[in-house]
Structure 1
Amino acid sequence: MSNPSQHTGMIYLVGAGPGDPGLITLKGVECLQRAQVVIYDYLANEQLLAHAPADAELIYAGKIGGRHNQDQEEINRLLVEKGREGKIVVRLKGGDPFVFGRGGEECEALSAAGVPFQVVPGVTAAVGAAAYSGIPLTHRDFTASVAFVTGHEGKDKSESAIDWDRLSLGNGTVVFYMGITTLRSNMERLLRHGRSPETPVALVRWGTAPTQQVLIGTLGDIADRAEAIGFKPPAVTIVGEVVALRDRLRWFDNRPLFGRKILVTRAADQAGEFAAMLTDRGATVMECPTIKLVDPESWEPLDSAIRSMSDYDWLVLTSVNGARRFFQRLALLGLDARAVGTCRVCAVGPKTAEAIRACGILPDMVPSDYKAEGVVAEFAKLAMNGTRVLFPRADKAREVIPCELKRMGAQVDSPVAYRNVMPDRLPPEALFSLEKRTVDCITFTSSSTVHNLADMLGSDLLVNMLKGVSVASIGAITSKACRSLGLKVDIEPPNSTLAHLVEEIERHYRSIR
């Protein structure tokens, strides 16, 4: 299509994919980032709307209560109207716009009105649902063909336009879209036209989403199985011998944390890596930050210490945040890693050591015990009398390290590198999930995350809302904070790292299956 004129906008029909927001194309994301208007439907993951500008107009054109909020003619008129207003519009459609998405009809309306449009393909439901179920639609040992078929033809059709003879004869894979309400009649038609009743069948509901549900049967019994458990749409039906491969190729919905909703209370700018580790194991992660990292009230104590780095014998960094803040401040003062000079560096924990190495320095000490007491035990092996130690810290850090090092005769300066403060509010969706008892596990990675959540909710309400929720604590100090508020700690790793915490959460849920 040609570029839009000064008075005519551009309509992008973008395939959102079948559910997993990561399956949208790069071009689809680029279109969303430029959109002035987003018109989205029922099957488009709402998380994708976060790619749109904050001031974009968002219009829901999907179903409400099982009925269409706007019929197709109204949607067509809306697209034309917004295009004629000179707007950049994204029509965000589940799956692919041109595969049972009525995208062709919308493009016809735009073409007739002279409004420019472009189509951005998406992963169609059949391909996504099959892949996430471990079912290859084609396989050289089973079939070389696949057919996509509507499971629910238009109400105005008195006769079926589907060639049931060709679908039924042979060994090709058949995928029905939108066919749960007509499942029995569709399966009976295949049987009447010659398909074997022993042909494997899979129903995949909410394919590629954390709520994915798969029901396996045969052509002869799948309708009875679906009715017995009340299997509901939206779903695709996959018919063919390739369905038998699911037992060997299943990878998505058999992950150890699949179907578990886990609340992460880390600061928003820290939660990403932890959330990714849980998501990779199949969990649905909901971020509920109970701390926010902000600058110290004054940078002068830390800046003064940095300018005098040559006076120190040891630099002790106990967290990734402390390491990043220290080296960021170093750079802002026009210095780099050379300013550390001959000062030896202690890194508490492998992640902190990794952050320090990224700045060009190899830590001289990495205690095997990540708690403050473990750090003190390592320094106790050295002659500390008269040594000068720089200990950049969080404002609410425990005093164990500076106090014990001073007791050994060291001179310790401990300027604040960052402060832990409470956010203004908790995310409403997290509170809603707790109230609805849909959270399986809550994670606490510091004492501050525990105490802040209690302060924001009230300790009594916190205990009540976490009834039946597994509490995962990163270590002994955090667990102590949990128990002081009346919480039972169900999960605690032997080593206080995120990786070990994730492993312990996985072990916990494996044990209760």
Structure 2
Amino acid sequence: MSQAVRAAVFRPDDGRLDNAVELLESLGATPVPDPMLEIVPTEERPPVADFVVLTSSTGVAILADTGWEPGDAKLCCIGPSTAESARGVGWSVDRVPEEYNSAGMVAALRDEVAGKHVVVARSDHGSATMLDGLREAGAEVTETVLYRLRRPEDSGESAAMAAAGDLEAVLFTSSRTVTGFLEAAAERGVRAEAVAGLDHAVVGAIADGPAETAREAGIVVDIVPEEADFDLLAAEVVEAAPSYRN
């Protein structure tokens, strides 16, 4: 009998990791849960503005827990999962860009933000792309850091397994999970071996951002689903993994 696909998943241990493990098990895989992100909320909240941009369902949950409301602001969400979370807590979503990234949000808002106040509410690891693009479009832009991302001190089991050739699949869900994996591997003295070990596994990335981060580190990315959806990513990676075994 062939061994079940061992699939490393790096989601935060805030409910999303348990859901990911359950999904992978339902697909017949053996999950290797190895959180690379720890969510540390700040006390910051978006000020009153014309537009509020939310970039993740984590940000939605943090704000909802505090009782924050968009008020008269136009609420803009990157990606359908963020929008779905916002609607799930009772907020109306006014904009979801066609392209689910910072450049897509800039393109969606470029023609209507001149002279307007736009708040971008997100983690402490956001790039300058959206802020710069909106300012170039004439907006007054404020960044609100809702939460900080840290790597748990005990992370890295997956890196050791990759270095030993004991993984058939990995699922990167953000650029930060990629860098966390590499940092954990370096701390264990096996970065080069871990990257090489992934050559014999199926590497999935949920979107182009983490895929590019992985490629820049020398990791070959095999699967990027058409939609930035974890269920879709997991299904495609697990299905492909058996053909990659040595």
The interval holding the TM-score normalised by the smaller chain is 0.7 to 0.9
Determine the structure 1 residue equivalent to 2:4: 259
Residue aligning to 1:414: 143
Aligned residues: 240
1:71 maps to none
Matched residue, 1:278: 24
Q: CA deviation at 1:457?
A: 1.4
1:473 aligns with 2:219: no
How does 1:28-43 map onto structure 2 within 5 Å? none
The one-letter code of the counterpart of 1:434 is A
- How many angstroms apart in 1 are the aligned matches of 2:241 and 2:168? 10
- Secondary structure of residue in 1 paired with 2:20: helix
Q: CA deviation at 1:433?
A: 3.8
Deviation digits for residues 315-338 of structure 1 (CA, Å, limit 9, x no counterpart): 111111111122223x2xxxx53x
Q: Distance in 1 between matches of 2:244 and 2:34?
A: 25
Return the alpha-carbon distance in structure 1 between the equivalents of residues 108 and 237 of structure 2. 30
Provide the residue aligned with 1:446 in structure 2: 174
Q: Hey, which bits of structure 1, 4+ residues long, moved more than 6 A?
A: 510-513
Match in the other structure for 1:291: 37
In the aligned structure 2, how far is the partner of 1:501 from the partner of 1:377? 26
Query: Superposition pairs for residues 147-162 of structure 1, below 5 Å?
Result: none
How much does 1:427 deviate? Answer: 5.5
Q: Which piece of structure 1 moves more, 275-284 or 409-418?
A: 275-284
Is the Cα–Cα contact under 8 Å of residues 7 and 29 in structure 2 kept in the other structure?
yes
Q: Judge conservation of contact 2:156–2:185 (CA < 8 Å) in 1.
A: no
Paired residues of 1:317 and 1:352 also in contact (CA < 8 A): yes
Q: What residue ranges of structure 1 are gaps of 5+ in the alignment?
A: 1-212, 214-252
Percent identity of paired positions between Structure 1 and Structure 2: 26
The verdict on how the C-alpha distance between 1:509 and 1:453 changes in structure 2, with shifts beyond 3 A counting, is closer
Query: Matches of residues 449-464 of structure 1 in structure 2 within 5 Å?
Result: 449-458=177-186, 459-464=191-196
What CA deviation, in whole Å up to 9, does each residue of 1:182-207 have, x standing for no partner?
xxxxxxxxxxxxxxxxxxxxxxxxxx
SS at match of 1:491: coil
Amino acid of the residue matched to residue 162 of structure 2?
L
The match for 1:377 among 90, 101, 107 is: 107
1:219-238 superposed matches below 5 A: none
Q: Distance in 2 between matches of 1:276 and 1:479?
A: 24
Larger Rg: 1
Deviation per CA, 1:117-154, whole angstroms, max 9, x where unpaired? xxxxxxxxxxxxxxxxxxxxxxxxxxxxxxxxxxxxxx
Query: Are the aligned partners of 1:326 and 1:392 in contact in 2 as well (CA < 8 Å)?
Result: no
Query: 1:151-204: per-residue Cα shift (whole Å, max 9, x none)?
Result: xxxxxxxxxxxxxxxxxxxxxxxxxxxxxxxxxxxxxxxxxxxxxxxxxxxxxx
Partner Cα distance (1:389, 1:443) in 2:
33
Q: Distance in 2 between matches of 1:279 and 1:368?
A: 32
> For the residues of structure 1 that align with 2:154 and 2:217, how far apart are their CA atoms?
20
Q: Deviations over 1:428-458 (max 9, x none)?
A: 5x45643543311011111111112212212
- What residue number does 1:326 align with? 63
Match of 1:364 in 2: 94
SS at match of 2:200: coil
Aligned to 2:230: 498
Structure 2 unaligned blocks of 5 or more: none
1:396 to 125, 150, 166: 125
Q: Let me know the Cα RMSD of the aligned residues.
A: 2.3
Q: CA 1:369 to 1:510, structure 2 compared with 1: closer, same or farther past 3 Å?
A: farther
Q: Which amino acid aligns with 1:315?
A: V
Q: 2:218 aligns with which of 468, 486, 492?
A: 486
Secondary structure at the counterpart of residue 414 of structure 1: strand
